[in-house]
Amino acid sequence: MKQLLSVEVFFDFVCPWCLIGQRHLQAALLHLQREQPQVQVQLQWRGVQLLPGLPASGVPFHAFYLQRLGSEEAVRERQAQVRAAARVVGEDIDFSRIRRMPNTGNAHRLLQRAAQLLEAGQLEALLAQLFIAYFHQGRDLGDSRTLLDIAQCCGLEAAQVVDCLRDDGSPFLDGAGRAGSAVPRFRFNQGPLIAGAQPAEVLYAAMTEALQEVERA
């Protein structure tokens, strides 16, 4: 008998812990598929714009973190910590290539529109390409041409998404998560939120508990 598991992920594209959390989630879902193949997963990506007040063109990346963390040493230490955590899940984040801290409103609007048009596998591919573009290639996710290029490479037509790409830096709010909220967060079957880039085994345990709650109800 099929069981349903809803999975919601609250994230922002510029948060490296969201990329790391996505990789942990992938591992947890693969384990779930092996151990409980009767479970049907409904995965929803809930965009949360961490910095809705950024200008449409974004701000210089290094200057942003220098102001936030207070010193060059603090920036180096934080980036080393993130890179070490990313390597554990097979990601090689290249901060040296990132020039802009972008306004991610348009990127979230693009993914939201794509969720209405693409199959689940295609949507996951688009999400992955957006993360790769930023954290591996240093591309500007606030630039409409960059977003259109990525969208078209993932099977979308420009006419399907161009109206999502606004020039005014307007914030993204989908009603699921307020702007500025901490990410990543995970929720299974509308249960309690799980904060942080938790290891795959923690996420798998939470999935199992959510499924057992349905059986007990």
Q: pLDDT tens digits for the chain (217 residues)?
A: 789 999 999 999 999 999 999 999 999 999 999 999 999 999 999 999 999 999 999 999 999 999 999 999 999 999 999 999 999 999 999 999 999 999 999 999 999 999 999 999 999 999 999 999 999 999 999 999 999 999 999 999 999 999 999 888 888 876 555 555 789 999 999 999 999 999 999 999 999 999 999 887 6
Angle between helices 72-88 and 61-69 (to 10 degrees): 110
Read off φ and ψ for residue 200, nearest 5 degrees: -55, -40
The pTM of the full predicted model, rounded to 2 decimals, is 0.94
Q: Which CATH class is domain 1-52+176-217?
A: alpha beta
What is the chain's Cα-based Rg?
Answer: 18
Encoded amino acid at 159, one letter: A
The beta-strand segments (E) located in 59-129 are 59-60, 100-101
| Nearest alpha-carbon partner for 47 in 198, 192, 193, 173 | 173
CA dihedral 174, 155, 128, 102 (to 10 degrees): -60
The beta-strand segments (E) located in the chain are 3-11, 39-47, 59-60, 100-101, 185-188, 194-195
What's the Cα-to-Cα distance from 154 to each of 45, 104, 121, rounded to whole Å? 17, 19, 10
Burial class (CB in 10 A: 0-12, 13-18, 19+), 78: middle
Domain ranges of the chain: 1-52+176-217
